[in-house]
Amino acid sequence: MIRYLFIAGYFLSSCFFSYSQEAVSVKTIIIDAGHGGPDVGARGTETNEATITLQVGLKLAKALKEAFPSVKVLETRNTFALPGNHTNAHAANRYRAEFANNNQGDLFISLHCNAAGRRPGGWYAQKVVGKEARTRYVKKGKKKVKQTYYVNKYHYLWL
């Protein structure tokens, strides 16, 4: 998480301090934590996209406010609800655009993430609940030896 905030800070500092003759001035940054409310986005095994983007967005806004106190940092949402307390995603997207335009945002950062990569219908998690001892024989003939090994026992959680 810290690494991503550092990368975002580096990127934004390169926007503020140009290496050419022209200075780039960013006065207003809009941070949009994607999804929210009933539109949770990608679902993982333990959380969803709306929750993760909200947490990252809040931390990014705090870091930017500390790093660049002269820059106005605004967020489209700072609660779990959809931006503007709308009930559908289409209206929330329109609100995001109007919010950025009304506040004259120079930089718009939209945060999104993907799911864990499990195929549809395969949403389960497995938890190790113990070990089971098994035996096998190794070598042949008179040199045959009994060997004990352990196999994990799993409990499958269907989500």
Total domains in the chain come to 2
Question: Does residue 117 form part of some domain?
Answer: no
Residue 18 pLDDT grade (very low, low, confident, very high; cuts 50, 70, 90):
very low
Q: Are residue 28 and residue 96 in the same domain, yes or no?
A: yes
- Note whether 150 and 92 are same-domain residues: no
127 sits in which H/E element: strand 124-138
Closest CA to 32 of 2, 12, 61: 61
92: nearest Cα among 78, 77, 106: 77
* This model's pTM is above 0.95: no
Residues 70 and 11 in one domain: yes
Q: Which residue has the tokens 């950062």?
A: 109
In the predicted structure, residue 93 carries a pLDDT above the cut 50: yes
Residue 28 confidence class, pLDDT cut points 50, 70, 90: very high
pLDDT band at 32 (very low <50, low <70, confident <90, very high): very high
Report for 2-16, 35-49, 129-143: range of highest mean pLDDT: 129-143
* Stretch (H or E) spanning 107: strand 107-111
Residue 38: how many other CB atoms lie within 10 Å: 11
